[in-house]
Amino acid sequence: MTSSLINKPQFPGAWLQPQKPAYGTFPYPFKGLGSEQDDSASSLSALKVALRLGYRHIDTAFTYSNQHQIGTACKELGIEREELFVTSKLHPYNNSYREAWKKIREANLLIWGKDASPGDNYLDSFLIHYPGFGDLIGTWGAFQEAKIKGLVRHIGVSNYEPWHLEKMKAKTGDYPEVNQIEFHPWIYDEQVQVLDFCQSRGIALEGYSPLAQGKRIKDPFIDKLAFKYQTTPSRILIRWCMQHKVLPIVGSRNPIHISSNAEPYTFKLSTQEIETIDGLGASDPVRIAEQWQWNSKKAPFGGPIPHPSSFQRVRTFISKTVKNVFF
């Protein structure tokens, strides 16, 4: 990384910062940085570059094993707690009332440290990461209580289908404030129902893997639009996500890409261009979540929790491959 990038001042433009609520009560930090799914030095370096460039919505999770890096980076850079919007997610194998309470406290401790002042010791957003395991109703009860006590400000879910959300509403009386789902053109046909459902009910949508981990970044139509608008294919995909009113969570280790993705989006895709991009995955979808052996379309509403060793095998696979798919 070059010093010119590391020392570059924040971009102007409040779109990188938390905004007033757009759906329900959930604030709208329009683009977030998806922290890398390990705790390596390169992951910490990428996070610090992003923070210097003005990113203030940082997305992490217990499955990523890197929550502690957020507090470390903020201390080193002198960034105050109130400047940040931090999302974390509960490990799917901890979906229970007792474990959820334990992990909410643990997440705050990992991120902010034991010496954090009471006013700084909270999560902006905490999500149930996956619906397929455990006691989801008990877990949500812990989330609601933690919000009342001020340990979490906004509560939501990830990888939930409409029927999961309807069952949650029937059992608890509430929809979540936010649902984070895989969202990119090559899975759009499978996710448009989730998009319509959430937006019609005041549930904010966040989109992870908006670049499909680069698997189709050289698509001819995306390249054509990048040339037309004098921008990069990644920014075309991010703009497409934004125009669907989905909050893109973009992951990268590359400081050049982190910088490029953060620049103001002064162009706008036409309705016809949006519709063409919508159809890119119709015949050949890409499903990033399958690398975790997750399939939200088939996931039950809770259920038996597998032996931890099964998840560790997946983590080992991800740790060996993730460095090659983030760019």
Residues marked active site are found at 64
Q: What three-state secondary structure class fits 34?
A: strand
SS (H, E, C) 54-120: CCCEEECCHHHCCCHHHHHHHHHHCCCHHHCEEEEEECHHHCCHHHHHHHHHHHHHHHHCCCCCCCC
Supply angle C-alpha 63, 295, 164, rounded to 5.
95
Burial class of residue 33 (count of CB atoms within 10 Å of its CB; 0-12, 13-18, 19+): buried
Alpha carbons 185 and 114: distance in angstroms, whole number = 42
Q: Which sign does the torsion angle of CA 74, 79, 80, 85 carry?
A: negative
Judge contact between 61 and 89, C-beta under 8 A. yes
Backbone conformation region of residue 47, classed left if phi is above 0, alpha if psi is from -120 to 50, else beta: alpha
Task: Please state whether 214 falls in left (phi above 0), alpha (psi between -120 and 50) or beta.
Answer: left
Report the C-alpha dihedral over residues 210, 218, 281, 57, rounded to 10 degrees: 0
DSSP string computed for 210-247:
TTGGGTTTT-HHHHHHHHHHTS-HHHHHHHHHHHTT-E
Spatial contact of 194 and 299, defined as CB atoms under 8 Å apart = no
Locate 95 and state its tokens: 């979906």
What is the 3-state secondary structure of 249-308? Answer: EECCCCHHHHHHHHCCCCCCCCHHHHHHHHCCCCCCCCCHHHHHCCCCCCCCCCECCCCH
